[in-house]
Amino acid sequence: MHVYIYDDYLSKSKYSRAVNRMEIRLTDLGLNGKILRLGGIKNIKTAIENEIRLGAKTIVAVGNNQTVNKIVGAIISADVYDEFQKKTLLGIIPIGEDNSVASSFGIKDEETACNILLARRIEKIDLGIAGNQYFLNQAFINSIGTTIEVNGCKMETEERGEIRIVNLLSDRKEKGNFKSSPYDGMLDIIIKTRKKDVTFLNARSLSISNDKEKLLIDDVLEIKTPVDIHILKGAVSVIVGKERIFS
Amino acid sequence: MFSKENRLEKFKDAETVIGSSIKVKGNFQGKGNIVIEGMLEGSVKTEANLFIGEDAKVVANIEATDSSIHGEVHGNVRSRGYLAIGKAARIFGDIQYSEISIEKGAIINGQLVAISESEKKAKGRKEEAPEETEEQE
């Protein structure tokens, strides 16, 4: 049984066409299921736990990166997480902006997403954990004033630039430049500065601190530092498309 | 046997790259190829190969299989395989190597010891020590 969890913003009129197209396509493919709306759920974790206990085979996040982030966070912290890992899959139907996570999985739009759900191509993906927040793609912070403690070393730079802790690449163009994989049990640390030099290394865990800047999780959530970041190997089984960034 | 060019090609597949703007402090240990273009203070050890760029400054003892040094190193160098020292390299420390090439212009301020020789010396000392204890008894 599929359980579709709709984000609140989908109730706006500008998304109604996309939602209708999606629902028609799901009906055509015989993929109808239960619909839950985030706005109507007091406790998303409890709602997901109930659905998994009732035998949900697929939990589908309908929305954007923020939707996926909320649902994954609820799943990982649920009492039934072990059951979820064995029996339940995560699906994504992207609607609107900020959908880099879906894009990484080769899911371009709502109609493609429905076809991908039917094809049921599954990958077990690692999950990044920053403090008590989870990320599928990356955590980002500005480089000035940031200290990284990793592999027994401290790293800093005085140059302006960006620091990304990557689990799953979101930019297809970077695929050839970095050996990044979402199921190698490692986080990739990529530092690019204004001087155009690149630093790359990987680690299972690290700490980040910056007095002024916050850490941005999957482009949607900001958290304060200092924060410990580590990887949870094979945390989530996701339904992915053929054109995913990783192989 | 690998040619010099083939050996250095291996560095392109580096697991770790420290860019020129980065400062690292600590004991860095890895299994894959390491490229250092920035500053590192502490120690560097890898089971694979190490490349130190022209703009790099390393204040550390370093240990690798094949190494290619083109920048500044303050510390001892141990290269179990091949060691290439470029013309812009400035090394202040002792060097242990199996095979070595040094370009004209490189500055080295320390002892150069072929690893096979030093290992022989160490073995020799160990063999002498038991004979001495037998005599004392």
Query: Is the CB of residue A114 less than 8 Å from the CB of residue A31?
Result: yes
pLDDT in tens, A161-216: 999 999 988 776 666 666 778 888 999 999 999 888 899 999 999 999 999 999 99
Q: Is the pLDDT of residue B53 over 90?
A: yes
Residue A79: the pLDDT is 72
Q: Contact B30/A193, CB-based, under 8 Å? A: no
Residue B119 pLDDT > 70? no
Q: Of A63, A88, A120, which marks where a domain is finished?
A: A120
User: How many other β-carbons are positioned within 10 Å of the β-carbon of residue B109?
Assistant: 10
The enclosing domain of A56 has a CATH number of 3.40.50.10330
Residue A85 counted as domain residue: yes
Residues 6+ apart with CB under 8 A from A97: A64
Q: Are residues A114 and A169 in the same domain?
A: no
Transcribe chain B into DSSP letters: ---HHHHHHGGGG-SEEE-TTEEEEEEEEESS-EEE-SEEEEEEEESS-EEE-TT-EEEEEEEESSEEE-SEEES-EEEEEEEEE-TT-EEES-EEEEEEEE-TT-EE-S-EEEHHHHHHHHHHHHHHHHHHHHHH-
Query: Would you state the pLDDT for residue A204?
Result: 94
Share of residues in chain B with pLDDT > 90 (%): 69
- Using an 8 Å Cβ cutoff, are A95 and A66 in contact? no
* Model pLDDT, residue A230: 95
| Final residue in a domain of this structure, among A62, A89, A120 | A120
Least confident of A49-53, A208-212, A230-234: A49-53
Residue B128 has pLDDT above 60, yes or no: no
Same-domain status, A17 and A63: yes
B24–A151: do the CB atoms touch at under 8 Å?
no
H or E element that contains A124: strand A122-130
What pairs with residue A223 in β-bridges? A215
Q: How far apart are CA B60 and CA B43, in angstroms?
A: 4
Option in A153, A159, A199 nearest B17 (CB): A199
Check whether residue A56 and residue A104 sit in a common domain: yes
Same domain, A68 and A157: no
pLDDT tens-digit profile of B94-118? 999 999 999 999 999 999 999 875 5
Cβ–Cβ under 8 Å, residues A131 and A206: no
pLDDT of residue B6: 47
Question: Would an 8 Å CB–CB cutoff place A156 in contact with chain B?
Answer: yes
**How many domains are contained in chain A?**
2
Q: The domain that contains A165 carries what CATH number?
A: 2.60.200.40
- Measure the CA–CA gap between A110 and A95, rounded to whole angstroms: 6
Mean pLDDT of A31-45: 88
pLDDT for the residue numbered A62: 96
Q: Are residues A14 and A113 in the same domain?
A: yes
Residue from the list A152, A191, A198 with its beta carbon closest to the beta carbon of B26: A152
Residues B54-74: tens digit of each pLDDT: 999 999 999 999 999 999 999
First to last CA, chain B: 50
Partners of residue A164 on adjacent β-strands? A140, A190
Q: What is the mean pLDDT of chain A?
A: 90
Q: Say yes or no: A20 and A105 in one domain.
A: yes
Cα separation, A96 vs A10, in Å, equals 9
Residues 6+ apart with CB under 8 A from A50: none
Same structural domain, A97 and A134: no
CB-CB neighbors (< 8 A) of B21 in chain A: 157-159, 161, 191, 193, 195, 197, 199
| Pair (A86, A175) in one structural domain | no
Q: Give yes or no: residues A68 and A94 share one domain.
A: yes
Regarding whether A163 and A140 lie in a shared domain, the answer is: yes
Q: Is residue A243 part of a domain?
A: no
Q: Rounded mean pLDDT of chain B? A: 84
Residue of A nearest to B20 (CA): A197
Taking the model in full, what pTM does it have?
0.84
CB–CB contacts below 8 A, A to B: 59
**Domain membership of residue A223 as a residue range:** 130-232
Beta-carbon separation of A156 and B22 below 8 A: yes
**Residue A194 and residue A112 share a domain:** no
Is A125 within a domain?
no
Question: Which residues of B lie closer than 8 Å to A, measured between beta carbons?
Answer: 14-30, 37-38, 42
Residue type, A165: I
- Long-range CB contacts (< 8 A, 24+ apart) of B9-13? B10/B48, B10/B49, B10/B66, B11/B35, B11/B49, B11/B51, B11/B68
When pLDDT is averaged across residues A220-227 and rounded to a whole number, the result is 92
Rounded CA gap, B118 and B54, in Å? 29
Q: Distance between CA atoms of B70 and B57, rounded to whole angstroms?
A: 10
CA pair distance A71, B28, nearest whole angstrom: 37
**Given A96, A120, A144, which residue is the final one in a domain?**
A120
Nearest to B22 among A179, A191, A202 (CB): A191
Distance in angstroms (rounded) separating the CA atoms of residues A7 and B118 = 68
Express each pLDDT in A82-94 by its tens digit: 777 777 899 999 9
Among A152, A156, A201, beta carbon nearest to B16: A201
pLDDT one-digit tens code per residue, A142-159: 999 999 999 889 999 999
Hey, are the CB atoms on A199 and B25 less than 8 Å from each other? no
Q: How many CB atoms within 10 Å of residue A186?
A: 21
Q: Residue B127: what pLDDT? A: 54
Distance between CA atoms of residues B104 and A196, nearest Å: 30
